[in-house]
Amino acid sequence: MSVGGDEVAELRRRLAEAEETLRAIREGEVDAFVVDGAGKAQIFHLDSGDSFRAFMEAMDLGAAALDAERRPVYANAALEALLGCSADELQRDGLFPALGPAAPKVQALLDSAASGKLSAPIGLVVGGRARHVVATAAPLQLAFAEGFALTFTDITDRVEAAAAEESERIGRAVMASANEAVLVCDETGRITHASPAVSRIQGVSPVGRAFEEAFPLVFAPGAATMGAEDLVAIAASGSSVRGIEASMAVDGHTLELLINAAPLHGSGGKVHGCIFTLVDLTERKALEKRQALLMGELNHRMKNMLALVMAISSRTLATAKDLPDFRVRFTQRISALSVTQNLLAEKSWTGLTVEELIRNELAPYVAPQGPRVTLTGLAEQVTRDTAVSLGLVLHELITNAVKYGALSNEAGRVAVTGQRQPDGSFAITWQEEGGPLVAPPRHQGFGQSVIARGLGQASGSARVEFRPEGVLCRMTLADTSLA
């Protein structure tokens, strides 16, 4: 077979062209090829793909290209790091096993992304740590077919920073609104934050000072902790102590404090310091002391009152004519006792004057402001026990006057006069006149007995004279009976 000159020339030209093509490829002067596939010319890139990959590898966000069957064609190093798996694992197992519980959400995103770019937040757990990620899917024209571009932006730091900021804001709001003094210390025990309530304990801000120096606490004997620095050490070691009572001297006063100490946990459970709450118990302690005293006093008074009621009962019974007489007299005497008790209660058990006592005992029988009763110099205050005794004595004097004496007719008058004596005692004179002629009683009744002995219990004395022109009673209250 012979070859013509033109054919040789053509062959030489094509050989030269092939050699030129090889040279250009070898020397890196071409970056794309035309390939005839299935009767259709297609362009394949060389360098541009590498550049794109280099660009993708340089990015912080995780990126992957998926083919139409959603198999990974390419995944960058950032995505491998984010998912905690290698490129080989992604190629072998696919992307979705690595996404864990978030896989269905990403599948749904890809379903919807065929017509355009879409994003959705997903949660990934990588290396035991939860990550907040925004997944974005978009259609991607691959060299050989349609596919997807999938990117993952890790916004965990941003979300955590926002959460931390929110926590900080809430923490500050809680501290600002707390009634208790709240202190935050760092791990060395230096105070870093103090709530506004701290200023009620310490006039100056303790921030920047060591806890034990700013709060020189004295603990009750037998308390488990010996000093403020021990509280810091306990809390900083991760333990909590609650309800420790301590006292502290501030400006010459002693404050009673209830202290709680707890560790301050940071992210990852690490102890960053400690939190103290200090509750000022000073007022409560004073109140408790007062309550205990009052309870003791109430008990004492109840016993006295019951003893008094028993005495009134037995003596009224001894002198009563019959049972109806007993009922009337006993009820009146208990009522007199009740009047005094009510008066004392109204006055919070202090500061009752002799005049107030007389006015209240007189009230059921005669107008104390009327012309038949004159009260002079009786503004002296008496003690509680004296008020009870004097109330009973006055009751007997008044009932006697109403039944037999100056208040039993229309013309009689009673004058009650009080005067301080040089020895500090207080003399009260009950003087009746204008009543019926008085005859001394044939025997000493309960009334006289109460008058004679009643004030004796309250460091005083009483003496009654049944003068024909009217009863005269002189009572003396020792200065210890006066309030």
Partner 1 sequence: MSETNEMSGAAPLRLTLYVAGQTPKSVAAIRNLERICGEHLGPGRYLIDVIDLRQSPHLAREHNIVAIPTLVRQLPVPIQKIIGDLSDTQKVLVSLQIDASR
Give the binding site for partner 1 (CB under 8 A): 13, 17, 20-21, 23-25, 27, 29-34, 40-43, 45, 47-48, 51
| Cα 249 to the center of its chain, rounded Å | 24
- Distance, in Å, from the CA atom of 106 to the CA atom of 123, rounded to the nearest integer, reads 11
- Which lies closer to partner 1 via its Cβ, residue 33 or residue 144? 33
8 Å CB contact between 188 and 233:
no
Where are any strands of DSSP class E within 127-252?
A: 129-141, 146-154, 181-186, 191-194, 218-219, 241-250
CB of 41 to partner 1, least distance (A): 4
DSSP characters for 292-338?
HHHHHHHHHHHHHHHHHHHHHHHHHHHH-SSHHHHHHHHHHHHHHHH
Tokens of 163: 């959460």
Supply 127's token pair: 């290396």
Q: Which two tokens stand for residue 326?
A: 């007993």
Please state, in angstroms and rounded to a whole number, the distance separating the CA atoms of residues 256 and 287.
12
Write down the least CB distance from residue 53 to partner 1, Å: 14
The least distance separating partner 1 from the CB of residue 119, rounded to whole angstroms, comes to 28
Q: Which residue type, as a one-letter code, is found at position 223?
A: A
Cα–Cα separations (whole angstroms), residue 460 to 228, 340, 350, 431, 483? 56, 18, 19, 18, 14
Q: How far is the CB of 270 from partner 1 (least distance, A)?
A: 51
Q: Which is nearer to partner 1, 21 or 342 (CB)?
A: 21
Q: Which is nearer to partner 1, 24 or 317 (CB)?
A: 24
Q: Which among 209, 269, 266, 271 is positioned nearest to 236, based on CA atoms?
A: 271
Q: Which residues contact 172 (CB under 8 A, 6 or more apart)?
A: none
Categorise residue 56: left if φ over 0, alpha if ψ from -120 to 50, beta otherwise.
alpha
Q: What's the min distance (Å) between Cβ of 45 and partner 1?
A: 6
Q: Minimum distance between the CB of residue 138 and partner 1, rounded to whole angstroms?
A: 20
Q: Round to whole Å and give the CA distance between 298 and 292.
A: 10
**Calpha distance 178→363 (Å, rounded):** 54
Taking the least distance from each CB to partner 1, the nearer of 45 and 172 is 45
What residue has token string 């200090």? 278
**364: which residues sit within 8 A by CB, 6+ positions away?**
none
User: What is the closest distance, in whole angstroms, from the C-beta atom of residue 52 to partner 1 in the complex?
Assistant: 11
Q: How far apart are CA 298 and CA 117, in angstroms?
A: 83
Decide whether 30 or 125 has the Cβ nearer to partner 1. Answer: 30
**Least distance in Å: CB of 87 to partner 1?**
26
Least separation in angstroms between residue 37's CB and partner 1 is: 10
Query: Which is nearer to partner 1, 35 or 249 (by Cβ)?
Result: 35
Nearest CA-CA partner of 340 in 421, 398, 408, 403: 398
| CB of 48 or CB of 444, closer to partner 1 | 48
* C-alpha–C-alpha distance, residues 454 and 394, integer Å: 10
Task: Determine contact, residues 456/445, Cβ cutoff 8 Å.
Answer: no
- Closest to partner 1 by CB, 20 vs 157, is 20
Max Cα–Cα distance, the chain, nearest Å: 184
Angle at 362 between CA 359 and CA 367, to 5 degrees: 85
- 18: CB partners within 8 A, 6+ apart: none
Nearer to partner 1, 19 or 168 (CB): 19
Q: Of 146 and 325, which has the nearer Cβ to partner 1?
A: 146
Smallest distance from the beta carbon of 30 to partner 1, in angstroms? 4
Nearer to partner 1 (CB atom), residue 32 or residue 58: 32
**Token output for 69:** 């069957």
d(CA 224, CA 217): 14
Distance of closest approach, residue 39 Cβ to partner 1, in angstroms: 10
CB of 31 to partner 1, least distance (A): 4
Closest CB to partner 1 among residues 30, 114 = 30
